[in-house]
Amino acid sequence: MNAPADILYRPRGRFRSRQAGAHPSSEVGGFGVFRDQTPFLRHPDARRIDIRATLRDPFGATIVRRFEQRSPVDVYAIVDLSASMSCIGASRKFDLARDICAALAFSATRIGDRFGLLGCDDRVRPDVHTPATRSRAVALRAADRLADARRDGAGARGFVDAAAMLGASRRLALLISDFRWPASLIDRVFDSFAPHDTIPLVLVDSMEETPPEWGLAELTDAETNRRRVFVMRPRLRGQWIERERDRRAMIARLAANRVRPPIVLRDALDPVELSRRLTAA
């Protein structure tokens, strides 16, 4: 595996933690970025008394300043290990998934966040599971071990169980898959991950989107091993492209109001573009 890329990400919302970190927290205290002022009885910290605000208060209340604490977050990559992820076209789809995991492992531990990894096909795969860790070496080894993971599962129902394994505390969860699943399963997975800050990363091979206009195309269903031969022609190509467009629109529609808008990655990891999308408001 090549040296991991460094990417940026910005969690949405507030996360609770007793430790100091790099992200805005729901906790308040005596240090950090100024948040607001409040009566001393509500936040009894004599070190943060605001004398000017206290003298101006018409009711004679003692006013203190509160500051926004910053905290770390747990970043989890949940990776699809079903057979469709073995697709090889213009690129190797699973190599892209590994590159993303390595970049997340490196970038999260660099700023004090914890990185965890879960692999799923029709169940959560114990051979791929790595609990969240701040150790960069352990996190990078977890991403590197994906190279040896079997990808022959017939489905991705394990993603639903993976959501339960994250626990009640809010996490930053990145779902890494081609999402070639039934709409009912996508809907169920997004619903399961709704309590977390969840980002679907949709992996696409450019050959899947834009097949040639003419020629014979032999396609193999990786999960059933069934083969079909098509005579590709402009009309069929147009229908193919339209169905791919409709599939991405369906994923975006199911994601609405539960998880973040899906991010589509084609063929290779572009760290700058992915960082831009992950830090977007």
- Together in a domain, 154 and 82: yes
Q: What pLDDT is recorded for position 197?
A: 95
**Would 48 be classed as within a structural domain?**
yes
- Together in a domain, 78 and 196: yes
Q: What pLDDT is recorded for position 91?
A: 78
- Together in a domain, 169 and 85: yes
**Would 162 be classed as within a structural domain?**
yes
Q: What pLDDT is recorded for position 227?
A: 67
- Together in a domain, 158 and 63: no
* CATH code assigned at 157: 3.40.50.410
Q: What pLDDT is recorded for position 64?
A: 85
CA 11 – CA 158 distance, rounded (Å):
24
- Together in a domain, 78 and 122: yes
**Would 280 be classed as within a structural domain?**
no
Reported in sequence order, the residue ranges of 90-187 that DSSP labels E, i.e. its strands, are 114-120, 124-133, 172-177
- Together in a domain, 50 and 122: no
Q: Which of 40, 56, 71 is the last residue of a domain?
A: 71
**Would 9 be classed as within a structural domain?**
no
CB atoms inside a 10 Å sphere around CB 216: 9
- Together in a domain, 52 and 87: no
Torsion of CA 205, 98, 188, 245, to 10 degrees: -10
43-58: burial string, b at 16+ Cβ within 10 Å, e else = beeeebebeeebeeee
| pTM of the full structure | 0.79
**Would 212 be classed as within a structural domain?**
no
**Would 226 be classed as within a structural domain?**
no
The number of distinct structural domains making up the chain is 2
Q: Which of 54, 71, 88 is the last residue of a domain?
A: 71
- Together in a domain, 122 and 140: yes
Q: What pLDDT is recorded for position 86?
A: 80
**Would 190 be classed as within a structural domain?**
yes
Reported in sequence order, the residue ranges of 100-239 that DSSP labels E, i.e. its strands, are 114-120, 124-133, 172-177, 197-204, 215-220, 227-232
The domain in which residue 61 lies consists of 23-71
- Together in a domain, 55 and 92: no
Q: Which of 46, 71, 96 is the last residue of a domain?
A: 71
- Together in a domain, 109 and 193: yes
Q: What pLDDT is recorded for position 177?
A: 96
Q: What pLDDT is recorded for position 65?
A: 85
Pairing of strands 197-204, 215-220: unpaired
Low-confidence ranges of the chain (pLDDT < 70): 1-2, 14-33, 209-230, 232, 240, 281
Residue among 110, 23, 117 nearest 76 (CA): 117
**Would 232 be classed as within a structural domain?**
no
- Together in a domain, 201 and 98: yes
- Together in a domain, 47 and 110: no
Torsion of CA 17, 20, 25, 29, to 10 degrees: 100
